[in-house]
Amino acid sequence: MRQLVNLHSILAAVVMAGLAIALYPVTTTANPQALVRTDPSSLGLRNGSQGTISIRVDDVQNMYGMEFHLSFDPNIVEVVDADPSKPGIQIQPGDWLKNSFAAVNKADNTTGKIDYAVTLLNPAPPVSGSGVIATITFKAKADGTSPLKIDKAILATRQATEIKADWQDGAIGVSLLGQAPSVQQSARPGTESSGGPSGLPQLSSRDILSYGVAGLGVVAFLGALALGIVAVFIYRRK
């Protein structure tokens, strides 16, 4: 009788251990993904007045260069030239990337496009954290709402490795009261996954690790259950 109780205790312990492995939640820690956004996300202006919007990068690690392409409604607002001494229309570089070189800095008030690209220069170290990349001064032309849409943004390390980032758009509202429009405070992935050859979504290494550990847990549980059944069968044969 005592042997039977011990056998049942061992079997219960093995089964519980297998269940614990199978059901234990897999948790991993990851650095926050960088975010490219307008600051503020929403700006209100009266017709003829001016206001500024900054392009910020938040929670980035080891960034050495960045480019972004922004679109707006040229019928509602226009970009005020930050440097009239140069040809064309420029925006104001931010103070975060000091000792940097702006390879592209142009705004087009006809098409409603802004293109900006900047990189640090040796021996400047890369930057981490959050800061302002550029500041844009807009002048209101007509009543309405102009989206500030980030069409593209690329962040890179010193080794020219792309840094993954999410994007968050903004908006400018022009009205008699100068009221800022409401915008959705949600970021969208900067890089969309196209999926694998079969059309299924691609799995990240973290997903693979999670599924792998969960699978091992199920195997361990089934193995423990099979061993228990065999042990009971052998005991009853004696």
CA-to-CA dists, residue 24 to 29, 213, 218, angstroms: 16, 9, 11
Do the Cβ atoms of 212 and 28 come closer than 8 Å? Answer: no
Q: What angle do CA 168, 36, 100 make, to 5 degrees?
A: 155
Tens of pLDDT, residue by residue over 92-146, are 999 999 889 999 999 999 999 999 999 999 999 999 999 999 999 999 999 999 9
Residue 136, strand partner residues = 53
Q: Maximum distance among all alpha carbons in the chain?
A: 100
144 CB burial (10 A radius; 0-12, 13-18, 19+): middle
Domain ranges of the chain: 2-29+204-237, 34-189
Per-residue pLDDT 10s for the chain (238 aa) are: 545 445 455 445 444 544 444 444 434 334 579 999 999 999 999 999 999 999 999 999 999 999 999 999 999 999 999 999 999 999 999 999 988 999 999 999 999 999 999 999 999 999 999 999 999 999 999 999 999 999 999 999 999 999 999 999 999 999 999 999 998 877 788 754 333 333 334 333 334 333 343 443 444 444 555 555 555 555 555 5
For residue 154, what are its two tokens?
């690329």
Of the candidate CATH numbers 3.40.140.10, 2.60.40.680, 3.40.50.720, 3.40.50.300, the domain formed by 34-189 belongs to 2.60.40.680
For residue 121, what are its two tokens?
């220069």
What phi, psi does 188 have (nearest 5°)? -120, 150
CA-to-CA dists, residue 103 to 116, 117, 118, angstroms: 8, 6, 6
Do the Cβ atoms of 91 and 116 come closer than 8 Å? Answer: yes
Residue 65, strand partner residues = 119, 156
For residue 202, what are its two tokens?
């691609």
How far is 128 from 61, CA to CA, in rounded Å? 4
